[in-house]
Every structure is written in structure tokens, then in C-alpha cells.
Amino acid sequence: MGISLHNITKRFGPDLVLDDVSDEVPSGTLTALLGPSGSGKSTLLRVVAGLEASDAGHVVLGGRDVTNVPARERRIGFCFQDYAPFFQMTVFDNVAYGLRVRKTPKAQIRREVDDLLSLVRLESFADRYPRQLSGGQRQRMALARALAIKPEVLLLDEPFAALDAQVSAELRTWVRSLQHELGVTTILVTHNQFEAMEIGDRLVILNQGRVEQTGAPSVVYDHPANDFVYAFLGPTTTWGRVPVRPHDLELCRVDKGTAVTVTEVVRLGFEVRVVVANALGVPTWVQLTHDEAQRLDPRVGDVVGVRVRVAEFAALSRHAQDRPVAGR
Amino acid sequence: MRRPSRLLRFVVLAYVTALVGLPLGFVFQRVLARGLGSLWAALGDPQMDAAILLTVKVALIAVPLNVVFGVGASLWIARHPSRATRALDAVIDVPLAVSPIIIGLILELAYAQGGWFGSTIARLGWRVMFSLPGIVLASVFVSLPLVSRQVIPLLREIGDHQEQTAATLGAGPVRIFFTITLRAITWALAYGVSLTMARVIGEYGAVLIVSGNIALVTQTLTLNIGGNFENFNAYQGFVGASLLASASIAVLVVLSVARHRERRRHGHLTA
């Protein structure tokens, strides 16, 4: 079920939280709503769910205008950042909640909840209480609870923010494949650009209540609409007073680029950051792969050259293969 | 946690014993000193029995009223904050800050003949002062914040995400209240109820003024105890006092046992 947002505007007192937001979320896709804190992304998610009323604009779900439909009649699966477990109920009763509201027969509830618990790998936790679960388990319980009502739209508010890095990475992969399997239209709110690019079919980048850009992660990354998107999506440094991605710079022989002195080398596994300063002491940094760093072996105090990588290089070499003309 | 030192434990126990244990023990000792025959006779005192019945009646009306008001006010204050709820939040504590005798006088000013609403009430053929409604009113007034002061902080702490999740799952407001909110605040509410109960059955000052203290008619148990002491009928007074104390202690014991069970069942602290 596709989601259409038409000119959504929301104020909290004097603050304009959402400023004329429009978007089309295609059915079955996973859209990552990305923005810094205070950009209005959680408020937008709450407006879609019906938990917050917008001051103006329309929310259309699968062709039906639900702007004035209360949350409980929208049949939208919603997961809060804190997972909002029902602490007084067992895991089973948590997941069964939506089915009981719908007066589902008992045997059917048992069957469906058991299926959902095995889907989220919590079969053996049915009789536990939420306080006896880890953060990752609580999150999976909250997902099962939201999926129980067979929603055609799933909304996840910062689903991985409260988890430690490893659990977060595992769950991202798992949620991604689950979403593919179920084909449920999903909007996921995050402030983490890597998470958004990893998990999203498309990105919606929000800043100060306005949509800055939408599109596939690679398109948005390679063709940012403005400076904000450019700076927000990845690391930036400056080169000749111009903002540039540190992976678009490279080290070379002194006579092939601008001469700089290496001031720091930070090895982060695959990524190696080489901080350099020019003759005036202006710093910048260059992002190398582990392999490049092994080959070039930059050390603090080395005087080396820095230049902008030839961006067209990859494209050129591909063309070179197509054409019988010798490249380079 | 480090064990408290032996001296600290001794001081705390001695303090509590001297302040609460000994006097309470004396009451029961005085009651039993004359033997079971006298106790039986004292328990049959018609004035005291009428007073007990009235106190039970007042508690049965005032406590539910306070629960409904307390929970309603708590939900409003914690879930829909506005200028009005901030004002209510401040005003709700007045009965705790003001002496009960003043509350009694305020009620008298308002409801007695010649009072603000006195003539209106008389025209409707109702009676508030010197009757059950007045005593209930005074009891509700003095215990006004006891439920909401327990419930509001808990409502704020648990937040509204559980309630909103239940709404997205299709539940309506009534269902959400009974399956989510009420279950989350059960123990805070139970604590507030027991405080209210203790306050209602133990109230003296405000009730003294509004009830008129008419034996067999508007005399509550506390007024009956006070009357017996004033009339040099100390033994009867001690019997009444021991009953009142037993009722309060029973409320506390039931509450702490129930709390302990709940804690064990969920493996965590509630309320």
C-alpha cells in the first residue's frame, strides 16, 4: 500500500516543525526518513500513524484519505524507539493484543502468535515478561506485535538507536530481509546516514521541517541537491576552501600534487584517515582504504602530495573497454 | 549494598519503637488489662457501634469517590498538560497544606444555612451540614491529593508510548485505560487508596465541625473515641482506638503482602 503525503504542515506553538512536506512512498518499499535531531522526522511519522494531527495537508494510504481517521482505524504497525513493551503482560499477550482487540477466536490467536514468535525467533520466550528480555529481543517482540494486525504499512521510529553496535547491525540485516519477505510498505526514521543508506530503498532527507531531497541512496549520495545534503550524507573536509569528500582526495608524489605534511594517521580497519597540513598549516584529511594505506605507507612527518581523485576515472575506463581505443 | 552498622540499626529500631511501637502496645495493653468480659461489653456499646457503622459508610463512599477523582485528575494532569492542569496540580495540594479544622470551617461557610450555597441546598430539600453528605465531603476534601500524588509521577515516568501503541493496534480509549494504564498504575493506586482509607477513617478536625458530633447520628469513630476521653470514659476510648489502629494496620499488611507477591511474580519492582 503506497503512502502519499500532501503538503503536511505542523506547528508546536511558534515552532514550524513540518513545513509543507510532500512525498510519495511506493508500495512495498522501505523508505528511510533521514535527518538531524529536531528536523521533524519523528513528528512526520506520528502524523502518518495518526498519533499527531497535522495543521494542514493530507495523508493518503493506498488511495484512501486518512487525514481525519483516528490511529486505531488506520491499521498501521508502529514501533517506538523505546519499543513501548506492555510491561504487565507476557510476550505472548503483548503480541496477541491487536488480535484480541479484533475479537479473533482463541485457537487462531494461539496459532498466529506462535507463528509470529517463531518469525521473530522468540518462540521460547512466550511466557516471559518484557523486563526479562534484552533490548534486541524487546525490539523483535515489538515488531511481532505490530505485524500481528497484518498492517499494510509499517512505521519504525529509530528502531536501532538504543541497541549496541553489533546487535544493531544484525537486526538491520534481519529487518531488511523481513521487509523484503513480507513486502510491507515501511518508513523508518533514523538520524544515522549509514543506517539509512544500508537499509533504505530510498531516502527522504528532512531538515528543519522541509524535505531537502528524495531518491535512491546512491543517487542522493552522488548527486546531492544542496550543501546540506552533501554535508549530512557523508564526511566532508575542505580542499582549497571547497568542501570535498575525503575519499575524493588521494595521496601522490610531491611533484604530482600540492605538497603537504602528514600530521596524523588513524587506522580504523578498512578505513585509514590521513590528516595532513599544507605549508600554511591548514589541515585537511584524506580517506584511504586499508589496501592503499599498506601500499603508500604514510607516516607522520612525511611530505607528500595531495590531489583530487579523477572522478571520471571509473567511467572512463568502462568506456575504454567499450571502445576499441586505447584508454589512459 | 553495604550492611548498615549495628549502631545505626539500633538507633533506628529504638526510635521507631519509642515513637510508634510502645504507645500502640500500651493501647492494646490497656484494652486487654480488664479481661475479655469487659472488652466484650465495651464492644457492644451502642454509641461506638453506630460510630463504627458511620465510619465504614463514609469510607465506602469517600474512597471510591477519591479514586475516580484522583485517577481522572491524574490522567488529565499527566497526559494533557496545559495552563489549567498546572493550576489544578498546585491547587490539589491545598488540603494537605491547610489544617483540617480550616477545611471544616470552609465547608461550613459554604454549605451551612446562610452560607454561599446553603440556601440553594435548603431549597432543593437537601442537607449537607450535620449529616452524612457533609462528612463525606469533608473526608473527600482532606484526602483529595492522596491518590493523584501517587499516580501522577508514575504516569509521567511510564510515558504514553504504551497507550499510543495500543491505539495503533486498534484499541479504543476505554480498553486502553483498563488493559494498559490501569494495570501499570495498579500498585501506586492501591497505595493511594490505602492512604486515603487511613486518612478517611482517621479524620477528626474537619469532620468534627461539619458533622456536629451528634452521638448515634453523626458521630464517627474518631469523634466517639474523642468523646469518650473527654467524658472520663478512657477504657471505652482505648477500645475504639485499638479498633481504629487495627484497621489501619490491616490495610498496611494487606498492601505489603500483595506488593511482595506482585514483585515476585514479575521479577521486578512495580510502583
CATH number at residue B101: 1.10.3720.10
Say whether pLDDT at A325 is over 60.
no
Domain boundary among A184, A206, A230: A230
> Does residue B169 sit within a domain?
yes
In this structure, are B247 and B123 located in the same domain? yes
Domain assignment of residue B217, given as a range: 36-266
In tens, the pLDDT along B143-185 reads 999 999 999 999 999 999 999 999 999 999 999 999 999 999 9
- CATH number for the domain spanning A218: value is 3.40.50.300
- According to DSSP, the β-strands at A56-61 and A64-65 are antiparallel
| Phi, psi (rounded to 5 degrees) for A127 | -95, 5
Q: What mean pLDDT comes out for the span B194-203?
A: 91
* Among the listed residues A252, A254, A278, A276, the one whose alpha carbon sits nearest the alpha carbon of residue A265: A276
Most B CBs within 10 A among A97, A127, A143, A155, hence the mutation to make, goes to A97
Grid cell in block for residue B123: 431549597
- The answer to whether position A247 is within a domain reads yes
Asked whether residue B4 falls in the same domain as residue B127, the answer is no
Q: What are phi and psi of A36, to 5 degrees?
A: -70, 170
pLDDT band of residue B4 (cuts 50, 70, 90) is confident
Residue A191 has pLDDT above 60, yes or no: yes
Q: Specify whether A35 is located in the same domain as A184.
A: yes
Report how many domains make up chain A.
2
Residue A242, pLDDT above cutoff 70: yes
Closest-CA distance of chain B to residue A77, Å: 7
Using CB atoms, pick whichever of B164, B170, B172 lies closest to residue A98.
B170
Residue with cell 500481528: A148
Q: Is the pLDDT reported for residue A35 higher than 70?
A: yes
Task: Return d(Cα B138, Cα B204) in angstroms, integer.
Answer: 10
**pLDDT confidence of B2, banded at 50, 70, 90?**
low
Interface check A93 vs B, CB under 8 A = no
* Of the candidates B199, B195, B180, the residue with the CA atom closest to the CA atom of residue B255: B195
Same-domain pairing of B40 and B28: no
Q: Does residue A325 belong to any structural domain of this protein?
A: no
Distance from the Cα of A7 to chain B's closest Cα (Å) equals 23
Residue bearing the bigger pLDDT, A288 or B114: A288
| CB contact at 8 A, A101 and B169 | yes
Compute the distance between CA of residue A322 and CA of residue B85 in angstroms, rounded to an integer: 73
Residues B15, B72 share a domain: no
Q: Is residue B271 part of a domain?
A: no
One domain for residues B24 and B47: no
Helix axes A165-182, A135-147, angle to 10 degrees: 20
How far from B245 is each of A214, A243, B249, CA to CA, in Å? 71, 78, 6
B7 and B134 part of one domain: no
Total domains, chain B: 2
What distance in Å separates the CA atoms of residue A59 and residue A4, rounded to the nearest whole number? 6
> Which residues 151-180 in chain B show a CB within 8 A of chain A?
158-159, 161-162, 164-172, 175, 179-180
Over residues A71-99, mean pLDDT: 96
Q: Are B40 and B29 part of one and the same domain?
A: no
Q: Are B191 and B23 in contact (CB under 8 A)?
A: no
A300 lies in the same domain as A166: no
For A149, the closest chain B residue by CA position comes to B169
Q: What length does chain B have?
A: 271
Domain assignment of residue A160, yes or no: yes
Cβ distance B166 to A145 under 8 Å? no
| Residue B247 covered by a domain | yes
**Quick one: B115 and B211 in the same domain?**
yes
Domain of A185, in residue numbers: 3-230
Give the pLDDT confidence of B93-143 residue by residue, as tens digits: 999 899 999 999 999 888 888 888 888 888 888 888 899 999 999 999 999
Chain-centroid distance of CA B185 in Å reads: 18
Does residue B53 sit in the same domain as residue B139?
yes
Is residue A320 in some structural domain?
no
Look at residue A319 and tell me if it is in a domain: no
Instruction: Using alpha carbons, list the distances in angstroms from residue B85 to B78, B143, B177.
Output: 8, 19, 20
Domain assignment present for residue A215? The answer is: yes
Q: Are residues B201 and B110 in the same domain?
A: yes
Instruction: Decide: residue A124, CB within 10 A, 0-12 exposed, 13-18 middle, 19+ buried.
Output: exposed
Residues A46 and A146 both lie in one domain: yes
